[in-house]
Copies of this chain bind each other. A is one copy, B any other.
């Protein structure tokens, strides 16, 4: 799978964006390829969108926010698509209700492909011309936006396949070797006034800015992620049946949803299995746990006599660790993978790849935060309540999107993303 790197997107000349554009757009199409037109059309739940909708929406994004800026005489490919493929931009106009995205059987997948081709042609022609800074910034935003949707496309497709009693496989499984999870170590950091938020010239979303100061207390940070095996211990210890471990809203979610294991875990004759894009198989105890909600992550941490890290803690560890990309979309693993047991025990592992890590930080604006102007101001700002920040990246995240300051966010009961758990503590010595 082609890799799009951040440096491409931030290159100086307009023409330099052409190859990046092609790679990102091609990668999206490639990710959809194993799915049939029927798979790509349906909507398994309100949160998840059909694959075809992702293909069209990301195209609509260029058509709406980029092409008219480059050419005021630009006419949309189809006047009806603004209604069908606007996601949530109130400023742009009315739109198909989110729960009804699965009813868009027309345009057909072929017509959406033609829509992509047509817009791609226009975009490529535009990219051969000089670009104003604003236009260039919007092209980059469109590519970053599309990379975000690549991840959603996969997690939403997983939800679709999991909704089918026959549990179809997205891609056949490869042989995997057995490993043993290395022991979890605690990395300590001193207290201090730190800087956090994005700095420098590379791309970032508005919510990563401005860089600002925060005071952080001394803390300890787990060297690796919580594993499926550890999660089974939590389950076997009555984790899902012990209200004192849970936030009040979390306990209500356990009760009303009947949670007793992570999402996509299936009990087959008493043995826990896990369904993923590569099918159903027995739970691998050494892989990081995935598809758990914030409520579950928080309850697990309480059970483990630890806590979740704040996003400031996470960011300063990640910034200084300069960690490698470990298991992102381009590896093709499509599932969280166990940490190699011969890793450096003293190092921080699994920060970027495998699973997103729930933090203890509600998703709110940084001090002096300013959204983008105009309709694009709706991109992030209006979601700054009732959600929690996740940091890192998952096995579904394009490598080019990964950076230490990235702020992912989801509601506390969300489980359909590849979300996992890293522990922290205030201080081991006291």
Q: Which residues of A contact B (CB under 8 A)?
A: 36-39, 41-42, 44, 52, 80, 83-84, 88, 90-91, 96, 100, 102-109, 160, 163-166, 168, 193, 212-215, 217, 243-244, 246-251, 294-295, 298, 360-362, 364-365, 367-368, 377-378, 382-386, 412, 426
Q: Taking each of A83, A214, A247, which has the highest tally of chain B beta carbons within 10 Å of its own beta carbon?
A: A247
Do B103 and A42 touch (CB < 8 A)? yes
14 contacts between A and B (CB under 8 A): A36-B105, A38-B41, A38-B108, A44-B103, A80-B166, A83-B165, A84-B166, A91-B243, A96-B165, A100-B163, A103-B163, A246-B382, A368-B426, A386-B412
A102: B residues at CB distance < 8 A: 42, 102
**When A and B form their complex, which 7 residue pairs have the shortest distance between CB atoms, in order from nearest?**
A362-B362, A90-B243, A38-B105, A103-B163, A38-B41, A248-B382, A39-B105
Do A168 and B106 touch (CB < 8 A)? yes
Q: With A39-B106, A103-B163 given, can you name 16 additional A-B contacts, CB distance below 8 Å?
A: A37-B38, A38-B38, A38-B108, A84-B165, A96-B165, A102-B102, A103-B164, A106-B164, A106-B168, A212-B217, A214-B215, A215-B215, A246-B382, A249-B385, A368-B426, A386-B386
A163: B residues at CB distance < 8 A: 100, 103
CA distance A190 to B218 in the complex (A): 26
Chain B's nearest CB lies how many Å from the CB of A404? 20
Do B362 and A80 touch (CB < 8 A)? no
CA distance A248 to B360 in the complex (A): 22
Chain B's nearest CB lies how many Å from the CB of A126? 28
CA distance A42 to B108 in the complex (A): 13
CA distance A402 to B248 in the complex (A): 26
CA distance A97 to B249 in the complex (A): 15
Complex partner residue of A160 from B105, B360, B426, CB under 8 angstroms: B105
CA distance A100 to B106 in the complex (A): 21
Do A166 and B367 touch (CB < 8 A)? no
Q: A83-B165, A385-B249, A385-B250 are in contact. Are A367 and B217 (CB under 8 A)?
A: yes
Do B217 and A247 touch (CB < 8 A)? no
Do B249 and A386 touch (CB < 8 A)? yes
Do B164 and A105 touch (CB < 8 A)? yes
Chain B's nearest CB lies how many Å from the CB of A36? 6
Chain B's nearest CB lies how many Å from the CB of A164? 6
A38: B residues at CB distance < 8 A: 37-38, 41, 52, 105-106, 108-109
A160: B residues at CB distance < 8 A: 103, 105
Chain B's nearest CB lies how many Å from the CB of A243? 4
A383: B residues at CB distance < 8 A: 247-248
Name the CB-closest residue of B to A41: B38
Q: Taking each of A44, A295, A364, A385, which has the highest tally of chain B beta carbons within 10 Å of its own beta carbon?
A: A385
A103: B residues at CB distance < 8 A: 42, 44, 160, 163-164
Name the CB-closest residue of B to A217: B367
CA distance A169 to B63 in the complex (A): 27
A385: B residues at CB distance < 8 A: 247, 249-250, 294-295, 298, 362, 412
Complex partner residue of A193 from B44, B91, B193, B386, CB under 8 angstroms: B193
A105: B residues at CB distance < 8 A: 36, 38-39, 41-42, 160, 164, 168
CA distance A416 to B184 in the complex (A): 47
CA distance A243 to B382 in the complex (A): 10
Do A251 and B90 touch (CB < 8 A)? yes
A37: B residues at CB distance < 8 A: 36-38
